[in-house]
Structure 1
Amino acid sequence: MNALMDAVRAGRTAEAVSLLDEMTDAERRAVFGELKALRKELRAAPWDAGSRRAYPPLYVAGVACQTGAAAVAAWIAAADMRWSRTSPALLLRILGDRDPKWLADVTHRLAERPASSGVPYELMAGLVRLSGCPVPTTDAYVRGWLGHIGATWQREETVLDRLRQDPYLPQLVAALFETDDIGGFFGWLAGDGPNSWYGALSRLAAEGTLDRGAMIDACVARLLRGGTTADQRAFLRLLKDLSLTAEEQRARIADWLALASDAVSPVASHAQSVLGALALDGGLTPRQLAEMSDAVLFRPEKKLVRAQLVLLRKILTRDASTAEELLPAVAQAFGHEDSEVQERALKLVERHLKKVESEDVRAELASAADQLIPALRVRAVRTLGAEQAGPEPVAYAEVLPLAPEPVRLAPAPETAAELAEEVGALMATEGDVAAFERALDGLVRHAHRDRDVLLEALTPVVARRWWNSTDPRYVMRADDHFGRADRIYNAADGLDLLLATLHGRVHTATLLRSVQQGTAGTACVHSPLSRAFEARLWEVSYRLRTEPLPFLLSTPTWSTGLLEPDELVDRLAEYVRLDARVGEADFAQALLRVRREDRAAAETAAERAAALGTTEGARLARRLTHRGPDLPVERRRTSGNRILLEYGELPELQEDFPAEFRPLGRPVSVYRERWYCYHWSGDIRRHWLALLPERRELVAVRLLRDVSTAAVDDARGAAAFLPLLAESGGAAGEAVHLCLAYGLGARHPEDRLAAVDALLTLAARGQLDAARLGADLGQLIRRGAVKPVRLAESARTAAATGANATVWEMLRHTLPVLLAELAVGGANTPARGLGDLLAVAAECAERCGARGELPHLAQAAQRRGASRLVSQARRLRIALTLEPREIVNSLTKGA
């Protein structure tokens, strides 16, 4: 046994195997305790040279020295054993003399492990051969089988050859259709060409090796079950390669109808094409075709809807007797969001209406015309006999969401145990500004009140923090880590600094150096914000070690970061009573947060502050009564296809503020500032907004290039902070509106949705300058920074909430810039997506009753052709220039 342990520690696998062969079962069981102890020892330093050397023989010995099937399976699949690189053949040799029933138990236990466990397929397949058990059909086994069969580069064989040699082919192919989310992996392995999985399986089905009917049924059933697009594409490709006959297609009409209705777009398109071919060959009854149309015409994909209308036109042209059955189905498209689809459907109904004799059907068609856009609805009055709209439009009422109200912060937790719970939750979730500020103030208060009780309560919170390790070899010491100027990436890092300080992991000299020197070395466009945020954290940490503060002066009153002036005066008075020394950075942050918008309340609080007779009281009084400009002089600059802003100096923030806060008032330059830095965390932006809760422009101008990447560089998440920017205070000027413009043109839907939330919030608060925003969007589109099709999606989403007038007012100032470019550039230069933008504008104008001239719209409406751009320009022109009664008259006269 000693020789075996020496061989294992030395990494001599062959010697360990030879010794294991000579040992009895009792001797193997006896040595297993030492193997477990060695495994525990290696876990402490898994990447040491000695550990890497010992793991392979340890892996083999642990398998050989256990008798329980569950224990052996757990040892084989253990995460720390995964990188031992022991060959499956060696394990099969070790296990080869065991009872077949025992081996079958191990096999199925390994197969039931998740695929992420990394159990080699070769091992599981070898155990199946040794035990003679039924082949497992679990997720891990099927995925392993796919990878094994597909690895044809290892030998001169094709996928077809390897499948033909597999004795368990029928069972594993059947399992392929039952395995969740396998399509993406299968499709990636399948590839194209003669050596593809698709070709191999269809060939085996054609020659009878696999049951063709069962495979077709399994494919269709898998598509009906639904799943991700990648999953569905793989099985759709296989179904197509099976080349169904007309009889096989007719036998599954109900399945095609269900797929055309509810499946993902590629599958629905295939089902539609199959049903269309059957319909043209007489394989579908008019009722079945109408049922199909009812489903497809409600789908959002315009391609599917248009294809269905084409199919219906062909059937109606061929067989007049189907009109009474099919035209009501066509009328379902009257309610489609795309006006061009509505017009196509109306033309189809108009063309075949004379074939309808039933008055009930005609009445149904006339009733459905109420869903049409106004111009088409008036046309339907003349052609379908629809009920005419009243001469006066219905009064429009804009629907905007309720403006979000700030929430008053609750007091810091009363007990250390409650505080510890909140700190633990905050470290796990990176909560909002309110949660962070309450936790920060709570740590200061309880450290001042009873440090030992606080430390005891925080024990479970810090138990697993990286800086709390006792092993200096593998974890960087907290003092070295926090001693660097760029180590506070987000609010959780700030709390880590405070907790590490409380537990003595950061030296006092390091804290003092950071308080005195700050983070001036990390100069970038964000550094004024990050330096001010971090300065208070360093100061609080230093005071925790040297002279604990009784509480923080800068804790906000509201969730936006705003601090009520009377509350700050009360806190200063309490500091005077306690004879406590005010923290310089803490008080500077309080001055930036104090509310000055209510001039009457500010002046009253200023009188109280001056009466305190302290330096801080006098500074607060000056701050509250200051009447200088809130924002510096601004200037627009361009950088590539971006429009950015530069700000001048703001003297107010240069006076009476510590060095780490003064950069907030210094100029912002487009070309001198460094834009790429370590401030990548989106979480920190909400805390930057809370630094200056009444001056969001000063934050927005420094984040403008970041949010522009969402539109220009297709970055994800760069616009996520926009709703918080809209909820913040102060003027919503050039920087805020440019940020919003970039967000509305973002590449990713979640960023566009955040921008729409911000747009509606600003509109609900009466702070949106739609004309400025629209003009900015026009210029950004003209420069190529924003794509019209993305803006159209954002505008459509905002309009769908009921904000039609707001969206129209924005687009009313965007479109003239683009239409002017079109008028100057000629017929071949329309911006891609301009037709979609005109469609949204037309719908908003129709809904809110907008009237008036739009520059350059007439030229676009008079262009030749029937493109989407031209048709939507004509629609918008009609909506803007004619009253409802005039529309009726013009159409009646044939205009």
Structure 2
Amino acid sequence: MTTGVLSGASDGKGVDALMKTVRAGRAAEVPALLEALDAAARLEALGQLKSLRSEVRTWNWNRWEETDRVRRALYVAGAGCHTGAAAAASWLGGRDLLSPRGGGGVLALRVLLDRTPVWRADVAHRLAARPAVAEDSYGLIRGLVEGSGAAVPATDGYVLGWARHITNGRLLENLRADPQTPVLVAHALSMQEAPDPLNWSVESGAATHWPSALAALTEEGVLDRAELVDLCVSRLLRGGRQRDLRLPLALLQLVPPTAEERRDRIADWIGMTADSTSPVAGYAQKILSGPALEGALPGGAFAEMTAGVLFRTEKKLLRAQLSLVNKVLARIPALSVEVLPVVADALGHDDTEIQGRALQVVARHLKSVDEGTRCDLAEAASSLLGPAHRPAAEGVFGSRVGKRELPPYEEILPPVPEPLFLPGPQGSLEELIEDLLVQQRRSSDAMEFERALDGLVRHAHLDREGLAERIREAFADAYWQPTGAGAGHADLDYFRHGPRGMDAILAALAGRVKRERIEAGRNQSVPMTSCAHGAMEVTQATRIWEIAHLIGGGKLPMLLATPTRHTGGIDPLDLVRRLKEYADAGLEPAPVDLGHALLRVRRQDASAGQAAEEAEALGSEAGKRLAAWLRSGSPLEATVRFHPRTEKGSGRWWLVDRILVEMAKSPEFRKEFPKTLHWLGGGLLPNARRCYHWEQVPERWATLLPADRELLAACLLSSMASGVEGDAARDATGPLTLLAEGEGQVGRAVALVLAFGLGCRDADDRLRAVDALLVLAARGDLDARQVGRDLAWLLAERSMKPNRLADAARTAAATGAYETVWTILSEALPKLLEAEQPVRGLGELLAVAADCVERCGATGQLAGLERHASARGTSQLVTQSRRLRNALRQGTDQGATETS
């Protein structure tokens, strides 16, 4: 293909000058130097440019400024020296050549303007088809396309670059003046993920508000109105995240479909009401309301729409649909036969308000249906309605709604989880290296981490030099290697702030970590002023440094503290066998490793007595310590208290600032265990120091205390408090699964972390707390009343929002644990009901309580309930108070709890 490269000097001076300029990073001078080179000289220069590109890839990070300049010059020079379109596009699309500061695209375009239009269009479309570079190369692509006569390259990457470039205070003028606007707007509306600039401004009056600008262009005729509406409807129908549907929804509101367009796409609107996000479903519901009230919506279609909406959970949509059904059936009674059976399904809705509204609709239009349909509706009311609405249903259907005979109530709890045992030791060296590389690329769980640690120690014992060599090869690009990412920072101590997972052990094997750093790490202790999270972090780090210190000698045959169960626990007889292997080899255990092993051993296991005898028979000091530890019962304890809440800004407002955790002093424990674990025996000051470890406790830390649940719960309190009050708290309840399936006594701390978990901001956190609560209940370890008292305190002082607790309680109850949930709520509600000013959302919590009472047949009285139940009005608080009062008065016999 003819490229239009000018003929000129073919000697080496021009090439040398070009390469010298590129090495100096003077990209602006490159176009002029290229003009003097003919095709042969450019081909010669290209080989040297490729070599320089490879060289630059090996430069250290501390040369980043030089690297950036040279890469920009390489980008321009390579573009001018390539003659083939595919090769040029590959060079221009190289991520290593694209400068983060930009500027190279303008110069590259300058050296390519002498190529043929077909060649430029080919390169442009190749670049536009590469998602990783098209957005950053927008200016170059556009320059290549313009004047070539080629079609607009409508790809996701190109549209992203265009949207970012064109969005400013003159958005409407820019869009109006750009001939590519119709094509690129159409593509933007079809993208699964909307470009960010299209959602920057949400106010219609803003200068960068895309919906307003596109609506104006539609009115002017720049954009085709029918095509725009079709694109928007199609995008909404495909669904997705709300942020990606915001533009098409706003456009349809500004450029509404005509009556004909609404009728032609009835099936689409019905689909949106059933499956799309709440705002989109609400919009489609309004669109369909007009045809429905006008009689233009067939009965089958209206019934389908109603069924889809009533299946949703958003109460606003359900109330609106029931209101619409009432109006439509009042105007067109003939539709009642098709629609009322669909409405009857809402009689079994979880929310009693929706049940009541559905019953009212059925009652008002019952006269419009035949006798067979009435019988079906009466049967639905009899089987679906709860006690709250059965009297009203009897008034509608008479004797057809008989008293429901229910079997004795049986509490359904999840099966007690079976223990999960860890696989045996790591296999071959290659399997270990592969596992370590996988863990470097993603976060490993605690047991994968523990198994890898044990594998390193075992293989170092068998062949330390062979393991070290494989570590150096496999982790050649690691930050701690001389040729790795940190090679340019000779003075940087990579391990200054900790062992970085197991990197310190790998570096110690490879001889890449200073001995003084290892010594300082393994001899560190937990400051008395540390928070519990800080103490757990130091304890974990000290263990890693100890392994890094000992692995160099290769003497340890294995780690004593490697768990045998997924909770972190070690079976007593397994630990005895490990100690015997140490004794037979004449080895003394590492202090921190042995300390961790003792903390993890399952003291309440049935084999603990036998293990204590066998450990004592070993005759070693470690065996005697294990025997004494197994017979010690519960040597570790913690007390939890709270500072009273004071005014904002005083330092005692947030829950996390008011927690006081005091470890019981145990001189014997501190005498027997290494100093890094002394904090567990009362080595921390019980002051309410703000915990700066944010909201997450790594699972790796939580496996430190699998046999002491109460102590572990006390250590989790500050992270759980952040999950309740923090704006961005996520995964705060991760360790609750290990806590629920662990061992040891259960007291106030466990009740508190469950209460905190049930009120977390994040829905997934609340779900994990519900799972933990049900597991504890199934194991017989749940103090439900204490959880309820702690919830009452949190709700009364406004540290927790009732709607979050209601969501968690509803989820727990729906599994069949109605009696358990009622026991918790019966303790939590009185303090809230007796308050002079009820907390907002109390009515929703009462609705869950009433449902539990109706299901499990509890009876009795609730302090403060009568005051609200006898009040006037129809608010949710008053309505649900009456429902709960009536349910407690009408209670049925309770059955036994079952685990299923």
TM-score (norm 1): 0.91
**Cα–Cα, structure 1 residues 511 and 815, in superposed 2: closer, same or farther, change >3 Å?**
same
**Cα–Cα, structure 1 residues 673 and 206, in superposed 2: closer, same or farther, change >3 Å?**
closer
- Matching of residues 492-503 of structure 1 within 5 Å: 493-503=500-510
Q: For residue 640 of structure 1, give the secondary structure of its aligned residue in structure 2.
A: coil
Kept in 1, the 8 Å contact 2:127–2:141? The answer is yes
Kept in 2, the 8 Å contact 1:647–1:668? The answer is yes
List runs of 5+ in structure 2 lacking aligned partners: 1-14, 645-651, 894-900
Kept in 2, the 8 Å contact 1:479–1:507? The answer is no
**Cα–Cα, structure 1 residues 159 and 527, in superposed 2: closer, same or farther, change >3 Å?**
closer
- Matching of residues 645-656 of structure 1 within 5 Å: 645-651=660-666, 652-656=668-672
Matched, 1:219 2:232: yes
Kept in 2, the 8 Å contact 1:554–1:590? The answer is yes
Kept in 1, the 8 Å contact 2:121–2:150? The answer is yes
Kept in 1, the 8 Å contact 2:542–2:676? The answer is yes
**Cα–Cα, structure 1 residues 360 and 667, in superposed 2: closer, same or farther, change >3 Å?**
farther
Q: CA deviation at 1:14?
A: 4.0
Q: Distance in 1 between matches of 2:585 and 2:565?
A: 26
Q: CA deviation at 1:225?
A: 1.7
Q: CA deviation at 1:267?
A: 1.2
**Cα–Cα, structure 1 residues 499 and 274, in superposed 2: closer, same or farther, change >3 Å?**
same
1:580-639: per-residue Cα shift (whole Å, max 9, x none)? 1221222222222222224x7434333333333332232223222225654255545444
Q: Distance in 2 between matches of 1:385 and 1:478?
A: 88
Could you tell me which amino acid in structure 2 is paired with residue 609 of structure 1? A
**Cα–Cα, structure 1 residues 674 and 96, in superposed 2: closer, same or farther, change >3 Å?**
same
Q: Distance in 2 between matches of 1:777 and 1:571?
A: 45
Matched, 1:707 2:720: yes
Which runs of 4 or more aligned residues in structure 1 lie more than 6 Å from their structure 2 counterparts after TM superposition? none
Q: CA deviation at 1:778?
A: 0.8
Kept in 2, the 8 Å contact 1:707–1:718? The answer is yes
**Cα–Cα, structure 1 residues 181 and 607, in superposed 2: closer, same or farther, change >3 Å?**
closer
1:94-127: per-residue Cα shift (whole Å, max 9, x none)? 1111122211110100111115554332322221
- Which residue pairs with 1:256 in the alignment? 269
| CA RMSD across the alignment | 2.7
**Cα–Cα, structure 1 residues 670 and 388, in superposed 2: closer, same or farther, change >3 Å?**
farther
Kept in 2, the 8 Å contact 1:550–1:580? The answer is no
Q: For residue 192 of structure 1, give the secondary structure of its aligned residue in structure 2.
A: coil
- Which residue pairs with 1:609 in the alignment? 615
**Cα–Cα, structure 1 residues 789 and 194, in superposed 2: closer, same or farther, change >3 Å?**
closer
Matched, 1:731 2:745: yes
309, 324, 332: which is aligned to 2:337?
Answer: 324
Matched, 1:554 2:561: yes
Q: For residue 650 of structure 1, give the secondary structure of its aligned residue in structure 2.
A: coil
Q: CA deviation at 1:670?
A: 5.1
Q: CA deviation at 1:146?
A: 2.5
Q: Distance in 2 between matches of 1:672 and 1:333?
A: 50
531, 535, 541: which is aligned to 1:528?
Answer: 535
Matched, 1:834 2:849: no
- Which residue pairs with 1:420 in the alignment? 433
Kept in 1, the 8 Å contact 2:461–2:556? The answer is yes
Q: Distance in 2 between matches of 1:469 and 1:315?
A: 77
Could you tell me which amino acid in structure 1 is paired with residue 498 of structure 2? R
Q: Distance in 2 between matches of 1:478 and 1:552?
A: 33
Kept in 1, the 8 Å contact 2:706–2:743? The answer is yes
Count of residues paired in the alignment: 863
Q: Distance in 2 between matches of 1:22 and 1:108?
A: 29
Matched, 1:487 2:498: yes
**Cα–Cα, structure 1 residues 533 and 29, in superposed 2: closer, same or farther, change >3 Å?**
same
1:321-347: per-residue Cα shift (whole Å, max 9, x none)? 443343333323212221101101112
Q: Distance in 2 between matches of 1:628 and 1:525?
A: 19
Q: Which has the higher helix share?
A: 1
Q: Distance in 2 between matches of 1:169 and 1:632?
A: 67
Q: CA deviation at 1:289?
A: 2.6
Q: Distance in 2 between matches of 1:732 and 1:479?
A: 46
TM-score (norm 2): 0.90
Q: Distance in 2 between matches of 1:408 and 1:162?
A: 64
Q: CA deviation at 1:704?
A: 0.5
List runs of 5+ in structure 1 lacking aligned partners: 886-895
- Which residue pairs with 2:881 in the alignment? 873
Could you tell me which amino acid in structure 2 is paired with residue 177 of structure 1? L
**Cα–Cα, structure 1 residues 68 and 375, in superposed 2: closer, same or farther, change >3 Å?**
same
- Matching of residues 44-63 of structure 1 within 5 Å: 44-45=59-60, 47-63=63-79
1:268-309: per-residue Cα shift (whole Å, max 9, x none)? 111111211232334334443333212212221111110111
Matched, 1:542 2:549: yes
Q: For residue 554 of structure 1, give the secondary structure of its aligned residue in structure 2.
A: coil
Matched, 1:467 2:474: no
1:223-267: per-residue Cα shift (whole Å, max 9, x none)? 112122112121011111113333433333333222222222111
| Deviating more after overlay: 277-286 vs 730-739 | 277-286
Matched, 1:624 2:630: yes
Q: For residue 410 of structure 2, give the secondary structure of its aligned residue in structure 1.
A: coil
376, 389, 399: which is aligned to 2:412?
Answer: 399
| Deviating more after overlay: 774-783 vs 584-593 | 584-593
Q: For residue 610 of structure 1, give the secondary structure of its aligned residue in structure 2.
A: helix
133, 144, 156: which is aligned to 1:139?
Answer: 156
Could you tell me which amino acid in structure 2 is paired with residue 614 of structure 1? S
342, 346, 354: which is aligned to 1:333?
Answer: 346
Q: For residue 131 of structure 1, give the secondary structure of its aligned residue in structure 2.
A: coil
**Cα–Cα, structure 1 residues 813 and 57, in superposed 2: closer, same or farther, change >3 Å?**
same
Q: CA deviation at 1:459?
A: 5.0
Matched, 1:161 2:177: no
Could you tell me which amino acid in structure 2 is paired with residue 753 of structure 1? L
Q: Distance in 2 between matches of 1:641 and 1:473?
A: 41
Could you tell me which amino acid in structure 2 is paired with residue 505 of structure 1? R
Q: Distance in 2 between matches of 1:171 and 1:517?
A: 65
Q: Distance in 2 between matches of 1:310 and 1:753?
A: 33
Q: CA deviation at 1:560?
A: 1.9
- Matching of residues 339-358 of structure 1 within 5 Å: 339-356=352-369, 358=370
Q: For residue 661 of structure 2, give the secondary structure of its aligned residue in structure 1.
A: strand
Could you tell me which amino acid in structure 2 is paired with residue 803 of structure 1? A
- Matching of residues 839-878 of structure 1 within 5 Å: 839-878=847-886
Could you tell me which amino acid in structure 1 is paired with residue 157 of structure 2? A
Q: For residue 693 of structure 1, give the secondary structure of its aligned residue in structure 2.
A: coil
1:142-188: per-residue Cα shift (whole Å, max 9, x none)? 2223233323x4xxxx4343333333343333323322212654232
Q: For residue 408 of structure 2, give the secondary structure of its aligned residue in structure 1.
A: coil
**Cα–Cα, structure 1 residues 149 and 553, in superposed 2: closer, same or farther, change >3 Å?**
closer
- Which residue pairs with 2:191 in the alignment? 179
Q: CA deviation at 1:795?
A: 0.9
Kept in 1, the 8 Å contact 2:569–2:600? The answer is yes
Could you tell me which amino acid in structure 2 is paired with residue 528 of structure 1? A
Kept in 2, the 8 Å contact 1:11–1:55? The answer is yes
